[in-house]
Every structure is written in structure tokens, then in C-alpha cells.
Structure 1
Amino acid sequence: MSSKHYLFKKQVHTVRSIANGVFVLSFKHDFKFTAGQIIAIDVVPDGKPRLYSIASGENDEFIEILFDEKHEGKLTPFLSKLVPGDDIFASEPFGTFHTGSEPGYWIAAGTGIAPFVSMARSGLATNKILIHGGRIDENFYYSDYLEKTMHQSFIRCCSQQDDTKYFKGRLTQWLRAQTALPADYRYYLCGSAEMVVQVRDILINKGIPFHNIISETYF
């Protein structure tokens, strides 16, 4: 995702690897945001920043972003090599992918889990069911925290690891297997455009009104 936003200089606090090719970058939290919002990030002040969902809670000391390093990418290979004290450039938070206290489903694929981690860390996990899709077990980022916070309401769907501890199959398979989904719940989707379209179609076919489906697409 990319866009044009005014960028402010920040100092990297940490960059840590949490899975093969997947990293969490953090810097000091010095602006207000609402869980679910995104920020533009770059390593230069006048480049072409990319957009990332914030994974931190609204009151956490540091802002965290979760990213998957793309070797052919224009930014993530540089982000993954940053060290504490390096400068990065970040916009103010923006976006309208918000949740409230109403019952709902959070549905994510891969690094699309980030806004839901932010929501959970901000105390918004009550009455929510989180479904996370990944290829292998190590793709369930922030899994320990989410399991401790959401307990049986955290469902992991693993598509490519035969000995997975979790549901064996894609999250779309899990959704299709459900005999009834509440039509009055809100359904929040975050992932690739393909995933969002597939999940939205499944939900609509199961009787979920279009206006109860809210999505954030990763490019």
C-alpha cells in the first residue's frame, strides 16, 4: 500500500524477527490513534512511503508495525535491516477501520492480523471471535498474546502444514463449514484483495448483510 502523506522523523526502538521473513518494528508512541488505523512509513523523508496497520494498543509505550519482507520490495528489505537508533519517517495515523463493543468476527490472513492485535491490546476483544489464516503454524503472529486474551474465541486455520495443531485448511474452508453465522454481527476482514473478496462472498451467501461487512485490503 502506498500514498502521499507528510512524514515525521522517528527513531527506531527495535526491529525483531518473529518468523521467517516477518518482522516487528517499533518506535516511540508520541501521537494519538484509534485501534485499526494505519500509518505511512519510509526510510527517507521524500520517498514513496508504504502503509502499515498499527499493531500496538492505544496506550502502549511504543508503536509497532508488522511486516513481511519482500526481497523485491522497495521498502521492506531496508526496514528489516534497521537497528535501534536509526531514523525512519512516519505519518500521523489515519483510517476508519474501527471496531466497537458490539459482537463481531475479526477475520485476518497473514500480516492482516495487525489491526486486530491493536484492537485486542486496546481492550476491544470482548464479544469478538478472531479467525486467523496462515500457511504454517509460525504464521500465527502474536499467537501467544491472542490465545491468552481471547481463549476459545481465537481460531487458527493452517493451510499447508500437515501436522498443524490447529484447523487444517484455509480460513475460507472454516467459514464455509459453519452451519450458522449471526446475521446481526459485524464482520471485519483484513488481508489481500483476493481474500477479502472470497470471504465477503461466503458471508453474503450465508445471509450476512453487506452493510455488516467491513474490510481493509492489503496490496
Structure 2
Amino acid sequence: MSKSRKKEPTLYTQIITNNEEISPDVHVISFKRDFDFMPGQVVKIGIDTDHPPRIYSICSGNHEEEVQILFNIKEDGFLTPKMGAMIPGDKLLVSKPYGSFIGVNEPAWWIATGTGIAPFYSMFRSGMEENKKLIHGVAALNQFYFEDELEWALGSNYVRCCSRETSCDVFPGRVTAYLSEINELPNVKFYLCGKPLMVVEVRDLLIEKGVPYENILAEIYF
């Protein structure tokens, strides 16, 4: 007997209003918001009913008129090259938002790599930046998405870590190297978003430094 497949959520047609390349092969695609969501939640996105949709975090604020999705083009992928080529008026299939990786107003650290910054930018745009520290790790300096806005608003609570290039006010190394140099961590929630290896390494490091497991929340990007 074959295994039953998990039922995919219903997808609704959305009309693209904008598609901006904010860094080489990294885009923010937009459409009018016709649903409510909590900052940090995800949607499934597809372009037809013949291929399974993929999961993306919403990166816009929950009171903004448009929903924005941050994504990077994977040359060997099916969906992202087609999304990258879309223009206003094209149609996208999008599910209703869901997920439990949700921002809170209490103090917290947001730790992201690459496009994993998307849910934290949504939290930031939704007014949750007070008492937050954002640590963003990337390989190249042009991958600090939304950095001007974040630096202006967060100041010293916005930490950029770059593993392959150097610049003033940027930590020269990975997120794990930055965290390793901190002797005492605060008693707050730690939100992690990035690729599986990063999430595991940072989670283990935080636990080694005394952070309770229940204070660590993670969202994995593939």
C-alpha cells in the first residue's frame, strides 16, 4: 500500500506588483496583501499546479499594503529562475500564511544567515525592533539585505558578520565566531533562521554557553 501524501494547502492567485533585484540574483517580489499574518510566518508559493510549491517567509510588515517575499535565484532550481523573471501583472500562486516561528515584543536576539533575515525583517517592519539584537551572517558584503534601514534603526544592536570580505563596522567571520567571543549571553529568547548546518551549530553553541533549550526557536531555510 502506498504512503498517503500530506495534503498541500490551497493556493490562491496573486498578481505581481513589483519585482526588484536588490543584490545579484536576490529579489524581492511583491503583491497586494489580502490576508492577515503574524510576523515570522511563511507562505507556500508556486507558479503552476504541476509542481509542488516551496516555502518562503514573508519579509514585509503585517500592516503594509503589499506582501513581499525575499528569495535568491537557484540556477538549477525550477521555481526561483521563473520568479526572478516575473514582471508586474504576472500571476503567482500563494497559500495563506501559517507557521509558529512568530515574533514577540519581549527582548530577544535574532540570528540569521543569508536570506534567512526575511522573517526578522518582517518583525522589524511590524514594529517589533525594541529590545532586539539582530546578528546577520553572510559571505559577501553585498548580501547584507536592507542594511541601511536596519543600521539606522537598530544602531549597535545590528551586527553584521562577513566570512569572505572585510569592511569597517563588520565582524570578520561567521556568526558562530562572533557568538563564541561573547562571554555571557542574556536571558532572552534566541531566534535562529538559516540553513540547517548554521541552525544546528548556533543552537549547540548557545546551549554550551548556558542558554536553555526552550529559549531557542529555529526556522530552517533550504
1:176 to 166, 175, 180: 180
Letter in 1 for 2:11: L
* 1:56-205 map, 5 Å: 56-163=60-167, 165-182=169-186, 184-205=187-208
Moved over 3 A (4+): 162-165
Please state how far the C-alpha of 1:104 moved relative to its aligned partner: 1.0
1:40 counterpart residue number: 44
Q: Given the alignment, which residue of 20, 27, 42 partners 2:31? A: 27
1:215 equivalent among 208, 213, 218: 218
The aligned length equals 217
For 1:8, the equivalent position in structure 2 comes to 12
Deviations 1:94-117 (A, max 9, x none): 001012121110000000000000
- Tell me the SS of whatever aligns to 2:190: strand
Unmatched segments (≥5 aa) in structure 2 = 1-6
Matched position secondary structure for 1:214: strand
Instruction: Please tell me the residue identity of whatever aligns with 1:110.
Output: G
Q: Is the 8 A contact 2:192 2:216 kept in 1?
A: yes
Q: CA deviation at 1:45?
A: 3.7
Sequence identity of aligned pairs in percent?
44
SS at match of 1:197: helix
Give the root-mean-square deviation of aligned CA atoms.
Answer: 1.4
Residue type at the aligned position of 1:19: S
- Gap runs ≥5 in structure 1: none
SS in 1 for 2:77: coil
Q: TM-score, normalised by structure 2?
A: 0.95
Distance in structure 2 (CA, Å) of the matches to 1:60 and 1:96: 21
Per the normalisation by structure 1, the TM-score is 0.96
How far did 1:47 drift?
2.6
Cα separation, 2, equivalents of 1:138 and 1:44: 32
